[in-house]
Structure 1
């Protein structure tokens, strides 16, 4: 980094915390810029290389890269409970406006800075929070715990990296997952998510017998059977539960229907897709639709919901979030599935706390606030250094 870049990375920035100013974390901006500029929608290897290289050169942590491409860094007491700061360095495909080709002929993501924000694919979801967690691991003095940083691959593909890591034995007692939790309870506030919905994607396959449409009674109309199944889905109650006093309400919706081959042929097959947003401990009884004669229910994807299993941990992270900002963060619920679902399902007490705001991820104008990234750094470091409150 040039002297000029280093000075820019230490500029004081107005933060939305009562008008105060605070120095940016050393290296956070430069690291975030670097990570966001690296393409990682088709292959996250280069982004993983950058994460691993920085951790090895800038921290005293024990750094590991597994066979799946996940990156880990550990510091503190290896015999104590583990607090993990978790993220992912893969992203969804960029818009055409978010890519460019450098002088070396290599694709890069376009980054832009204005109005206190960094724009670029992955800035919000979630390389900015990954960078904040990396800096926290570099600087924190863990309070009687092992502090672990983990950045997974394949989160955008259903948690491929997290699931592989869990199968290989990754099992921290506590985890702060850096997905978005900003502006949930109010503008300019970074909250702490104690629960999120999961997603179960299903297909109802109705089978029948084809016939000429002029003699429909000689066939068995698969569309009619599919419609009977849709009627069952329509009448199902949405799953609902409460986590730490927060209401979590799921949903069930038919989203596609496909059947028939010609206007004059009774269809012998019809498929219906169902999107279900699951909640911790509750599922809609979709098997009822599969009990109709000639209808098979197939589960295509099942991303688990998350509920924090440790009140003291959730309260400690909320306390760290309060200390890091002048706003009044709250325990909140997130509507989207994340890698926290896989970790919670494996027994880790999880919360979510990160810089991304609702509506930023996966957009053509994706961006993240520098001030909120600074805040997340303070939260992550505060959790590690205040672990005696829950560990």
Structure 2
């Protein structure tokens, strides 16, 4: 059974199960405020991730923040890639001149074989081109393989400035430090490099539209002493910070653990599975974190069934599109403060539709 109702002139169809979840959340009197939309590596559901094209498309679609993951070159330039290992997101394997750069490294306790950004100069990286990371799920994105270079953080900031001038609105950045402790052991201090970049761009004050995120504790504690921008500890199930191997994220999400996080961070960026059950029911983590004074941002909202909880999966097949707009309604009603998404256009529209104070006046 499905139910149709209109909100702001837009008709929305809900399954009976999803409608029950939404009404149940509303009955809990959860207050849902403005939802930050964070473009996860850009509009990466439509363009290869971490390209200037993906970032510009996300900005044009109304994202509040864009999220660049940061790694470093051998000449200490911050560049934007999902990982320091390059073969999943570039054509490095096709470059015979770099065949001897392939090697194995133990990164955060995991043996990784491939080509690593920190072994290349920026000039060498400029010869590579981006490719779609998950072409099996996103074959349309693969049509753009080979078109875009690897951008630097400085180029992403320049793009943001240009789009702010063009659009007349402020656009935030939400950089993630990738493997900062591992890279420090290799001689690259990406914490210091990021702070220097933020100061140079005049983006290190509390009122700047910047969040800095990491899965690691020590780098956030350092940043807390160096900049005023809000900091975010990333958390996921079944793991712990690479720089604190005795700690587990689930244990850090207890009341005492959240109180400790609040001494050096301003928010948690949480895997959806830590916040909601597969049926869309809150686990209690959102309320607990907010009770400790932390904002809660959830990752990652994507429209393919492979990434969606069962309640909003539709059709068959991992690449089939599910009900992403319905999931936005669930997380907004549950009280999260922001969402990371590969599909900012869909989430921006859905966030505008799911205005919960107004929704109570809607006739179903």
TM over 0.5: no
Specify which structure has the bigger relative contact order, considering alpha-carbon pairs within 8 angstroms and separated by 6 or more residues.
1
**Normalization by structure 1: what TM-score?**
0.28
| Larger strand fraction of residues | 1
Q: Structure 2-normalised TM-score?
A: 0.30
Q: Give the structure with higher Rg (CA).
A: 1
